[in-house]
Amino acid sequence: MKLAIFVGTMLGGYAGWWAGEAFGLGFGWAFVLSGIGSMAGVYAGWKLAQKLAE
């Protein structure tokens, strides 16, 4: 479960940062979107780990 959450956090954070940079929002918004993406990645990784454990 920890690995799935870690991977989800990493991918979500990267995706959020990329989205902020792709739209030219600057460092501050890229940082905020990275945090939001990381939180979404934690949830997605947790749900994936639960699904795989069934």
Going from N- to C-terminal start, the domains of the chain cover 2-53
Q: Residue 40: its pLDDT value, please? A: 97
pTM of the model: 0.86
Question: In one letter, which amino acid is 32?
Answer: V
Q: Residue 54: its pLDDT value, please? A: 86
pLDDT tens digits for 1-54? 899 999 999 999 999 999 999 999 999 999 999 999 999 999 999 999 999 998
* Among candidate residues 54, 51, 53, 49, the one with its CA nearest the CA of residue 8: 49
